[in-house]
Chain A
Amino acid sequence: MSEIHMLTMPKWGLSMKEGKVNEWLKGVGDPIEVGEEIVEVESEKIAGAVEASVAGVLRRQTASDEDVLPVGGLLGVVADAEVADADIDAAVEAFLASFVPPSDDDEDSGPTPEKIEVAGRRIRFLKQGDGGEPLILVHGFGGDLNNWLFNQEALSSKRAVYALDLPGHGESSKDVGEGTLESLADTLLAFMDTVGIDSAHLAGHSMGGAVCLQLAAKAPARVGSLVLICSAGLGEEINGAYIDGFVAAQDRRSLKPLLAELFADTSLVTRQLVDDMLKYKRLEGVGTALDKLAGTMFADGRQQTLLTGVPQGLGKPVLVIWGEQDRIIPASHAPEAAGLVRVEVLAGQGHMAQMEAAGDINRLIEGFLE
């Protein structure tokens, strides 16, 4: 490619207005492959890497470590080695001259989550993209639709992608009914009915994976394929100390070390991440909801519902992804790859692989759905 590619501050989540440059992972002059991590940046909510969408050479670092840039602001330039320096300088100048940082008034632009009634409960969801066979993203225990912050938009170029808050989570109703896998799967099915989805690809993380498995077992005709990330439901083991601790934690001090268990790189557990989780836990009804879900699904430190036969028995394509260093549910739960079941174990990754290895996981899912 001979074009000049502007590397800009990404927008991770609706509230992100600016981001800080944590560290350049590539130097000026380094060759860049598609998908390589070039620079680590941090929003007030989360840190992550900006990946190359084109191949070339990193020609400029226009922002330095610790710089704070608005969303869309210029981080650097990737171009082929043959492109003249003068052309790059001209492109940078033109970019800076025309760049208008997003103002506070732009807040309403872009997709925003909606809330609908699903079988008597308020359910919040975010839809991005259009057409194709839709993909539905289902978060895990204690999570919400923001767990897919680094995935949803990337996966929505060819299809509609929905991410929802399960009952008891995020901004959905805190009434979890019986608090069983069946009741959550029924809600997911009712959600599909309500928004008018006949059949969808389902991607579930952790407990959300078990919800997808349960739905697939009950209504296979509604499922195009399954993506299971560090999924529950595939073995008895689970980190009971994490589950119990997470349900009981009432303050920053007790919550922070628990959240660190979720990540391979524990520096991702920022103050803001812990505060946001505390804010969720302090909503009325959340304590009861989590207690009930944990009591029915993960009592005595083991998974109570096993759906190990579903991936092979479903007769649909299934992609199983696991972080090799998952400290919540062991990667040994991944089924044998055979027939329609494909298995990818990611070295160096933990339980929140879809956030920590977003680029890899997005490529795996995108390739799988093709």
Chain B
Amino acid sequence: MARKITYQQAINEALDQEMARDQTVIVMGEDNAGGAGSPGEDDAWGGVLGVTKGLFHKHPGRVLDTPISESGFIGAAVGAACNGMRPVAELMFVDFMGVCFDQIFNQAAKFKYMFGGKAETPVVIRTMYGAGFRAAAQHSQCLYNIFTHIPGLKVVVPSNPYDAKGLLIQSIRDNDPVIFMEHKVLYTMEGEVPEEVYTVPFGEAAVVREGDDVTIVAIGRMVSFAQEAAASLQKKGIHCEIIDPRTTSPLDEDTILESVENTGRLVVVDESNPRCSMASDIAGLVAQKAFGALKAPIEQVTAPHVPVPFTDALEDLYIPNAAAIEAAVTRVKEYR
């Protein structure tokens, strides 16, 4: 049995192993070393939550602290990628994408298309997302859907430590810009992770659980809530199939459609706000391509259309949970 490590350790290990394998891999971001070059301890931080801690001394000169200027350092990472490096830049919170979005969607995502397929931009932008951390409206959003909208970007949303390591290694080796979304509440999640190097391919959904009654497509942190709901529903005789797309771009449409062809019922669980979300995207896909198989309306379990509240009680209400998933599954199962 493989040893157990956390989601955060899995990400650190992927960075460490790829930096050891490939000298062109560099890590950069705010406080990624923390204290480097200034009086005091080097490698004091490893990013705001310590994900890159320990890499500074193992890979001298290749873990770079950057100024608090996302537009500047994300642009620098994109430029370095165009010039033969494989940078992994850390955008501390995805909520800050606004200040560097031009570098991502109008530069990195476009180069391959604008230069006749000859330009490659192997940059990875790691970024934290998600509510549940008591970090309020400006540090808690779930924005993978916005990146998913942009052709030229690949978007990775790991739900567990095993996938986090394998998908990050795949991201670093991929020759296109990759947005790697890390849910901050998942950092402490433990799971079996091989010590050896491995990759998980993009565009291959995981079937987390098999069942014939209702398909649940859940993304990121929502996968564990869906598992909780499915375990409870099993006791009531409702068998759920849970699909974790793992990457929202490319999206493994086949696995979702095949499952719905079998169950005829779909619940999509997405922590984003509901409008123009992965939930609405997947619901649209299934409504168009598996319409004949549907036995009930598609349910979407999402956050409401409001910013993430600051108050604990309201934040808890905001986040989709197992009870909401269970209720949605029950509704589609009982629909006549």
Contact = CB atoms under 8 A, between A and B. Distances in A.
B194 A283 contact: yes
Interface residues of A, number: 18
A14 interface: yes
Nearest to A146: B1
Contact of A171 (B162, B194, B206, B209): B194
Interface string B181-209: 00000000000101111111100101101
Contacts of A250: 201
A218 interface: no
19 contacts: A14-B1, A15-B192, A171-B2, A250-B201, A251-B201, A251-B204, A252-B207, A271-B207, A279-B162, A279-B194, A279-B198, A282-B198, A282-B199, A283-B194, A283-B198, A284-B196, A284-B197, A284-B199, A285-B196
Quick one: which of A112, A174, A279 has the most chain B CB within 10 A?
A279
Nearest 7 Cβ contacts at the A-B interface: A284-B197, A282-B198, A283-B198, A15-B1, A283-B196, A14-B1, A271-B210
B210 to A, nearest CB: 5
A113 interface: yes
Interface in A28-74: 66
A283 B194 CA distance: 8
B173 to A, nearest CB: 11
B1 A66 contact: no
Contacts of B194: 171, 279, 283
A13 interface: yes
B276 to A, nearest CB: 30
Nearest to A284: B197
Contacts of A174: 196
A316 B166 CA distance: 47
A174 B197 CA distance: 11
Contacts of A14: 1
A362 B235 CA distance: 35
A282 B210 CA distance: 22
Nearest to B166: A282
A102 to B, nearest CB: 15
Contact of A283 (B1, B197, B209): B197
Contacts of A283: 194, 196-198
A284 B192 contact: no
Q: Is the interface of B mostly helix, strand, loop or mixed?
A: loop
Interface in A262-303: 271, 275, 279, 282-285
B315 to A, nearest CB: 28
A284 B1 contact: no
Nearest to B2: A171
Contacts of A251: 201, 204
B1 A13 contact: yes
Contacts of B138: none
A13 B192 CA distance: 14
Quick one: which of B194, B195, B200, B209 has the most chain A CB within 10 A?
B194
Given A283-B196, A284-B199, 15 more contacts: A13-B1, A113-B1, A171-B2, A171-B194, A171-B195, A251-B201, A251-B204, A252-B204, A271-B209, A275-B206, A279-B194, A282-B198, A282-B199, A282-B200, A284-B196
B165 to A, nearest CB: 11
B234 interface: yes
A74 to B, nearest CB: 18
Contacts of B198: 279, 282-284
A253 B209 CA distance: 16
B239 to A, nearest CB: 10
Contacts of B196: 171, 174, 283-285
Quick one: which of A112, A113, A252 has the most chain B CB within 10 A?
A252
Interface in B198-253: 198-201, 204, 206-207, 209-210, 234
A271 B210 CA distance: 7
A171 B3 CA distance: 11
B38 to A, nearest CB: 38
Nearest to A270: B210
B78 to A, nearest CB: 28
Interface string A155-198: 00000000000000001001000000000000000000000000
Contacts of B195: 171
A271 B255 CA distance: 13
A20 to B, nearest CB: 9
B200 A66 contact: no
Contacts of A282: 166, 198-200
Nearest to B210: A271
B250 to A, nearest CB: 14
Contacts of B206: 275
Contacts of A271: 207, 209-210
A17 to B, nearest CB: 12
Interface in A222-259: 250-252
Contacts of A66: 234
